[in-house]
Chains A and B, each alone.
Chain A
């Protein structure tokens, strides 16, 4: 499936940065989106956001880094929306965030599931979506491969 050409922005929702592959795969997806002309906004906990902010210090790939609670407030209170939303999941809380994003925004949601329990977590997502899933903790390659299997990048 190709990325929607009408999409002008994407929200990437980060979980706790406890699993190392998260930051790398976030930056990989952000770089591909940026090449496709899609503005990328990161929403995460303060530490997840800091990892991205300093890994992409000059903002080559990421346009904005915002606080997760502040983004949820904007979406639910101010009707702010993003056509694409990637939710990074490695625990039960990630599943809850994906279900919430699916409920509060009319977006194409891509759950990105990783970590040791990726298969079990993937089975818990019951709303209609294309899941990106791989058992990946330290080596991001299985998850990068899963991203590329699901999304056919134009650029």
Chain B
């Protein structure tokens, strides 16, 4: 996981499918962004099937992290800089009502 491993992160879902992680983000977070596959967050590229959804909640980012042997993990990392970067980029934003 590279530098991400050095950050305090929380695993929300483990050994899941990509679509399970996407559904979880859509159902549980209000501020959701759609990014292209390969989008770099911290030092990792998001591997996934479009639409790739990531959730932002205050300074916390929730995103899928795929490992070839273990499927997809949904991880939660606090980073004010990354949250700001995602908000400033013109990725499609959807707001849950």
Q: Give the B-binding residues of A (Cβ under 8 A).
A: 14-16, 18, 44-45, 48, 68-69, 72-73, 75-77, 91-97, 99-100, 103-104
The range of chain B's interface size is: 20 to 34
Nearest A residue (CB) for B18: A96
B69 near A92 with CB under 8 A, answer: no
List, in ascending order, chain B residues with CB within 8 A of A75's CB: 38
CB contacts between A and B, total, < 8 Å: 66
Q: Which residues of B contact A72 (CB under 8 A)?
A: 38, 45, 47
Q: Are A45 and B68 in contact (CB under 8 A)?
A: yes
**In contact, A97 and B45 (Cβ under 8 angstroms):** no
Most buried by B among A69, A91, A100: A100
Contact across chains for B69 and A97 when beta carbons are under 8 A apart: no
Q: A97–B71 contact, CB under 8 A?
A: no
B40 to A76, Cβ gap below 8 A?
yes
Say if the beta carbon of B50 comes within 8 Å of chain A. yes
